[in-house]
Structure 1
Amino acid sequence: MQIYKVGGAVRDRLLGIPVTDIDRVVVGATAEEMLALGYRPVGSDFPVFLDPKTGDEYALARTERKSGRGYGGFVFHASPEVTLEEDLIRRDLTINAMAEDDQLNLTDPYHGQRDLAARVLRHVSPAFAEDPLRVLRVARFAARYAGLGFKVAPETLELMRQLSDSGELEALTAERSWKEISRALMEDQPQVFIQVLRECGALKVLLPEVDALFGVPQPEAHHPEIDTGVHTLSVLEQAALHKQPLTVRWACLLHDLGKGLTPEKDWPRHIAHEHTGLKLIKAVNERFKAPKDCQELALLVGQYHTHGHRALELKASTLLELLQSFDVYRRPQRFEEFVVACEMDARGRKGLEQRSYPQADYLRGAASAARGVAIQPLLEKGFKGPKLGEAIKRERLKVLKAYKDAASV
């Protein structure tokens, strides 16, 4: 029995970056031998065992064979005869197909170390094209390592293109797709993930609503970058630069989908795109079964982001309606995420990345003022039921008018 670290642990150590996950493969052992040593079995698809003391995972070396459509359409074979090289060749990229023993002796049959030095993301074997999930994984790795200069090899991009054209991407489950998309959005350069998907044709399969934004112009006075797709990538880039959470990044990706529905005769203006885009945002949310907080924020940002940009001009009554829409009294964090999403939208414009966004603090102040209305005095005056609600609304409108007047001085 021989045990090796494989995949990301080896890759990241060689890159000199922190190792977070360690995968181990066991060569020359049977499941019975692992059980006899006290390892606990987990998983049903292939033999993976947990160390009884540390809880670390150990997988038996295995081969795989395509047996159906999609990510799950594989038959796995594990036995003591499976070599380390046979286990490594089934992996996606050469930089993930290296192994090392406890003495850090490297096994690199597919030249992963060479591709690390060349900053290339290259597939290990033609079997890469059997797994549609690898299109998303490679695009995610491109987003993760873009800052180090990594690019997708042309021949790998071609295989990704073939997968995108094959119809295999449609076989991916919503859960698997969302797992990759959400992880990619949290990488350092998530906009690269979208770019790579677009380059290989996967974006128009998985997110046609986003793909449709490229080539759609906006007024140059407000958007020097002009292209709506380019703007969306820039907004996503700003969200990552400012370390925003997944909810905000998801909303940033989807906020302008309505512009893809604007008739060409109306370009570059996009009247009411906030409302026309809601059905598209809802469709994307449902397609990937996004978490509820991501779904809600994406819809709210899509509908109200232009309100955010015009915050200083809004009437007190409109401002109150905006705050009510977000339920800022019980869910203040959701409104804060809306504010920062609007700021990322404003910064995601060519040459305007550093421009101040006074609307953010203005909106925060308005929310604070409205939340500051005391309910107890109204109860003491005898208000209750619907009349209490109306009295609270009147008081909040009053403080917002005072807040707006003070801010304009």
Structure 2
Amino acid sequence: MRIYTVGGAVRDALLGLPVKDRDYVVVGATPDEMVAQGFTPVGKDFPVFLHPQTHAEYALARTERKTAPGYKGFVFHAATDVTLEQDLARRDLTINAIAQDESGALTDPFDGRGDLERKLFRHVSEAFAEDPVRILRVARFAARFAGFVVAPETNALMQRMVAAGEVDALVPERVWQELARGLMEAQPSRMFAVLRDCGALARLLPELDCLWGVPQPAKYHPEIDTGVHVMMVLDYAAQQDLSLPIRLAALLHDLGKGTTPAAEWPAHDGHEGRSVKLVERIAERLKIPNDCRDLAVMVAREHGNVGRALELRAATIVNLIERCDGLRKPQRFMDMLRAAECDHRGRTGFDAVPFPQAAWLAAALRTVQAVNAGEIALRLQDQPTRIPDAIRAARVSALDALLHGRSSKVFDPK
């Protein structure tokens, strides 16, 4: 039995990056021998075992054969005669096909170290084409590793995979899993650039893919192109280290602009409502978690209203807060304001332009929260039908007082 560290742990160590998870491959062992040494079997499709002390995963060296479309259509073969090189040959990229033994010696049959130096994502073999998840993984790696590029031959292979319909066989949960991980990387726009280059984005998220080439008014969007704008918004959210729900909302907030008739360009009247429907469609298709879906829908619907917040009357702002359920879910309301600020700053030359609307609406929320609804209800307990209107009137009155007394030093958009 020989044990090797493989995959991302070796790659990241060679890059001088922190190693988070370690994967191990075992050559020359049988499942019975692993169990006899105290390992716990957990793999369903192929033999994977948990170490008795560390609970790290140890997989028996294996080969695989494609038997059906999609990423589950494989038959695996694990036996004592499977070599380390055969196991590495089934991996996706050369930079992930490097193994290290217990003495520290490296096995690198596909020049992964050379591709690390060249900052190149290159597939190990044509077997790459058998697993469409690998397209998503390459795209995610692009978001993580700045400066790395996809090898032309690998991009061409991914294009052929898309044309063959392999991407269409991906299950929604796996697509969302990979997209979510990519959204949380340092520069998520690079993930979508890779997906666009190979044609996968048009199959996975056609509602997003069609935004490139759609113009916006240059006065408000010097970058003009809607797709470019959305990527700038997303990367700004990443730079601020914001949460996954906020990053997804940044990605999907302007989808409705892709459905604006070309005759109406560069205006996009009513795009917010169209965006909401498209966000809901994507969320249902990819089975996106409720917290991510709900914030994305809210930002798509309200980002224009947040941008106009300094022009809104007190009653209109109370409507906004109530429509967003801000009193019951104030954190989500604040997340919406953060996403709207990303929308504002994700434009050419706007990254340092103040966005006082967020501070104003946050103050408005605090003011509305401070109204003692219980006291009003107690005072009108003999007239219960009047209670909702009285509470609302008190909230509008309190906000109106703040509106007319606010300091221009705090909220002046200039």
Partner of residue 412, structure 2: none
The one of 330, 342, 351 equivalent to 2:340 is 342
Aligned-pair distance for 1:380?
Answer: 2.9
Amino acid at match of 2:233: V
Aligned to 1:306: 304
RMSD: 1.0
What is the SS of the residue equivalent to 2:91?
Answer: coil
Q: Given residue 340 of structure 1, which amino acid in structure 2 is its aligned partner?
A: R
Could you list the per-position Cα deviations for residues 335-355 of structure 1 after superposition, in whole angstroms to 9, with x for gaps in the alignment?
Answer: 011000000000000111111
Closer, same or farther in 2 for the Cα pair 1:318/1:184, shift >3 Å?
Answer: same
Alpha-carbon distance between aligned partners in 1 of 2:339 and 2:280, rounded to the nearest angstrom = 18
What letter matches 1:402 in structure 2? A
- Alignment-derived partner of residue 93 in structure 1: 93
Q: Deviations over 1:239-283 (max 9, x none)?
A: 000111000010111100000010011000000100122211111
Letter in 1 for 2:143: A
Structure 1 residue aligned with 2:157: 159
Residue 188 (structure 1) aligns with: 186
Taking the aligned partners of 2:162 and 2:395, their CA distance within structure 1 comes to: 53
Q: Which residue of 2 aligns with 1:112?
A: 112
d(CA) in 2 for partners of 1:275, 1:107: 55
**Are the counterparts in 2 of residues 189 and 240 from structure 1 also a CA contact under 8 Å?**
yes
Q: What is aligned with 2:53?
A: 53
In 2, Cα distance between equivalents of 1:296 and 1:280: 13
For 1:385 and 1:98, locate their aligned partners in 2 and report how far apart those are by CA, in whole Å.
Answer: 72
Runs of 4+ in 1 over 3 A off after TM superposition: 383-386
Q: What is residue 392 of structure 1 aligned with on the other side? A: 391
1:284 is aligned to 2:282: yes
Tell me the CA shift for residue 42 of structure 1: 0.2
What CA distance in whole angstroms lies between the structure 2 residues aligned with 1:385 and 1:251? Answer: 39
Deviation at 1:38, TM superposition (A): 1.2
Say which of 333, 342, 361 aligns to 2:359.
Answer: 361
Paired position in structure 2 for 1:176: 174
Partner of 2:223: 225
**1 CA distance for matches of 2:68 and 2:186?**
34
Q: 1: distance between equivalents of 2:395 and 2:162?
A: 53
Give the CA deviation at 1:379: 2.9
Where does residue 405 of structure 2 map in the other structure?
406
The aligned counterpart of 1:2 is 2
For the residues of structure 2 that align with 1:209 and 1:291, how far apart are their CA atoms? 19
TM-score, normalization by structure 1: 0.98
Say if 1:209 and 1:386 are closer, same or farther in 2 by CA, change over 3 A. farther
Q: Tell me, yes or no, if the aligned pair for 1:210 and 1:257 is still in contact at 8 Å.
A: yes
* Aligned residue in 1 for 2:411: none
Say which is worse superposed, 250-259 or 398-407, in terms of deviation.
398-407
Q: How far apart in 2 are the matches of 1:29 and 1:167?
A: 38
**Amino acid of the structure 1 residue aligned with 2:316:** T
2: CA distance, partners of 1:386 / 1:163: 63
What SS does the corresponding residue of 2:145 show, helix, strand or coil?
helix
Distance 2:373 2:254 in 1: 38
Offset at 1:385? 4.5
Contact map agreement 2:377 2:384 (CA 8 A) in 1: no
Distance 1:183 1:398, change over 3 A: same
Query: 1:120-171 deviations in whole A, cap 9, x for unaligned?
Result: 011000110111111100000011002xx11111111111111111111111
Asked if 2 retains the 8 angstrom alpha-carbon contact of 1:328 and 1:371, the reply is no
Deviations 1:37-81 (A, max 9, x none): 111100211100011112111000000000001010111100000
Identity %: 53
Report the secondary structure of 1:277's partner residue: helix
Question: 2: distance between equivalents of 1:309 and 1:186?
Answer: 26
Unaligned ranges ≥5, structure 2: 409-414
Aligned 8 A contact 1:217 1:226 in 2 = yes
Report the counterpart of residue 330 of structure 1 in structure 2: 328
The corresponding residue for 1:247 is 245
- CA distance in 1 between counterparts of 2:43 and 2:331 reads 38
Q: Distance in 1 between matches of 2:376 and 2:83?
A: 77
* Partners of 2:162 and 2:345 in 1: CA distance: 32
Distance 2:157 2:352 in 1: 39
The letter for the 1-side match of 2:255 is L
For 2:133, the aligned partner's letter is L
1: distance between equivalents of 2:398 and 2:25?
64
* Pair 387,58 (structure 1): closer, same or farther in 2 beyond 3 Å: same
Structure 1, unmatched stretches of 5+, are none
Distance across 2 between alignment mates of 1:197 and 1:386: 56
Q: Which amino acid aligns with 1:316?
A: A
Write the distance in 2 (CA, Å) between the matches of 1:363 and 1:305. 12
Q: Does 1:315 align with 2:313?
A: yes
Alpha-carbon offset, residue 376 of structure 1:
3.0
The one-character-per-residue Cα deviations of 1:169-195 (angstroms, maximum 9, x if unpaired) are: 111111111110000000000010011
CA–CA distance in structure 2, aligned partners of residues 139 and 332 of structure 1: 35
Partner of 2:122: 122
Partner of 1:115: helix, strand, or coil? helix
Give the number of equivalent residue pairs: 407
**Secondary structure class of the residue paired with 1:280:** helix
SS at match of 1:76: strand
Cα distance in 1 for partners of 2:198, 2:405 equals: 53
Q: Is the 8 A contact 2:212 2:227 kept in 1?
A: yes
Distance 1:406 1:102 in 2: 70
C-alpha distance in structure 1 between counterparts of 2:234 and 2:162, whole Å: 23
